[in-house]
Amino acid sequence: MTNATMAAMNNDLSATEAARLLGVSLPTLYSYVSRGLLVSVSHGAARRKRYPQEEVLRLAARKNDARRGGQAAVTAMHWGLPVLETQISHILEGRLLYRGCDATLLAQHASLETAASLLWDDGAIDYFHQDAPPLPPQLASAPDATPLTRAMVAMVAMAMPASTPAPATTPASMLQAGPALMRTLAAALLQTAPSALPLHQQLALAWQADAEQTELLRAALVLLADHELNASTFAVRCVASTGASLPAALGAGLAALSGDRHGGGSAAARRMLTQALAASDARDAVGAYYMSIAPEFAGFGHPLYPHGDPRAAYLLGILATLAHEPPRLQAILAACATAEELLDARPNADLALAAMELAFGWPEGAGMSVFALARSAGWIAHAAEQAASAALIRPRARYIGRHLRD
């Protein structure tokens, strides 16, 4: 028996195990196979049937979702049931996985470009062997706008039917256009000319980051490249499902990211840190700050990570090793620890971005720029996946208003 065969067997289930996971009888299990809901494979001389574990788990999830339909479906739109299937990323037992690869392990060595290629098609093609795109004229027309506004203006302009080349609308064309769009986003966010340099190096040059900070930027971009079906990614998929172009879908993602309860988290966490550093009693300042804002929207806690956000743990862990460098960093980390103790909540990625931005003297809003540039990689993956499904996302609403009256 080959190693490959043994590995496959280890991931297969017996009929009894599969039926137990599904909560059905053996006859019902066999009926699933005959109806095409589940596949089985023959094994051994007795030709006993075995069932791929992933297929069984997927069917069990679908059955569970169906049983919990109706009112339970309402929670699907806020930290509840899955509402669509994806092969791109998922969160499992406190870990963020990109196509099965642990994002924190990738952050040790990968670039955002490497992570993007993984998210787009499992790394089959390196899409980034392209020259930098030309500077869109729209980027030079709004010099006083915020970085995110400039990025949205660029995407909206590129989404117009008259733009050249024609906007990408098919899965293949979306992935081919991905590098140019990400480099255009970087140019808009940094107010520089588009460049083919690695994206973390573009940020480092614009913000005069040293070698250690550059490595931290690289890791942050990888860790934030995708995060399952968050609000901005869902917006991207909804727009892509209509047949709209990739720039239009990315514009929707940027618009969603601009909200205080999504991309604005690092700015809120920065305000908390600034107030704590300026106060005579940091604990009192932190307590007062979180009387007016929910911690999860300002650096602490995450519903998908009850034991702590691994992205924050990774980045703050690196910052702790650099505490002897920037004078303010030690005080910033102390303020983070004070807030964690007071709130009895673990830091999330927004706090890590805010700490980096504040400690290294990067421009205010740098955390949002890192977030937007990183997440564009995931948005492109989801837009292409949605386009490939050829399905329109059109959920129904539960009506709770007046009924027809005579």
The per-residue DSSP string of 132-151 comes to PPP--GGGGS-TTS-HHHHH
CB hemisphere CA count around 262 (13 angstroms): 20
Cβ(107)–Cβ(219) below 8 Å? yes
Percent of the chain with pLDDT over 90: 62
Please tell me if the domain spanning 3-67 has the same topology as the one spanning 99-406.
no
DSSP assignment string, 66-131: HHT-GGGGGGGGTTSS--S--SSEEEETTEEEETTEEHHHHTTT--HHHHHHHHHHTTSS-TT-SP
Provide CB contacts within 8 A for 293, sequence distance 6+: 268
pLDDT in tens, 296-344: 999 999 989 989 999 999 999 999 998 677 778 999 999 999 999 999 9
- Per CATH, the number for 99-406 is 1.10.580.10
Amino acid at 263: G
d(CA 252, CA 188): 16
More confident residue, 323 or 206: 206
Structure tokens at 170: 């098919």
With a cut of 80, say whether residue 36 has pLDDT above it: no
123, 130 contact by CB (below 8 A): no
Share in percent of the chain as helix, strand, coil (round to 5)? 55, 5, 35
Instruction: Indicate the class that CATH gives domain 3-67.
Output: mainly alpha
Q: How far apart are CA 59 and CA 6, in angstroms?
A: 24
40 has a pLDDT exceeding 60: yes
State the average pLDDT for the chain: 87
Question: For strand 12-14 and strand 48-52, is the pairing parallel, antiparallel, or unpaired?
Answer: antiparallel
Does residue 85 have a pLDDT over 80?
yes
d(CA 369, CA 147): 7
Whole-number Å distance between alpha carbons of 292 and 221 = 30
* pLDDT the model gives residue 272: 97
Domain ranges of the chain: 3-67, 99-406
Q: What is the set of active-site residues?
A: 302, 350
Query: Taking a C-beta distance cutoff of 8 angstroms, is the pair 168, 176 a contact?
Result: yes
Q: Which residue is listed with tokens 């993956």?
A: 381
Q: Which residues contact 199 (CB under 8 A, 6 or more apart)?
A: 111, 112, 113, 182, 183, 186, 221, 373
* pLDDT tens digits, 252-278: 999 999 999 999 999 999 999 999 999
Confidence check: pLDDT of 22 > 60: yes
Chain segment 49-71, per-residue pLDDT in tens: 888 887 888 788 766 655 554 44
Across 167-188, average pLDDT: 91
Alpha helices in 208-363 (DSSP H): 211-223, 231-241, 246-257, 265-278, 282-289, 310-321, 329-343, 349-359
* Cα torsion angle, 225, 227, 232, 233, sign: positive
The mean pLDDT value for 144-157 works out to 83
Residue 347 per-residue DSSP state: B
CB 18 within 8 A of CB 29: yes
The lowest-confidence range among 60-64, 202-206, 245-249 is 60-64
Tally DSSP H helices, then E strands, for the chain.
18, 6
Q: Determine the pLDDT at residue 44.
A: 58
pLDDT at 34: 76
Give the C-alpha separation, 57 to 42, whole Å.
19
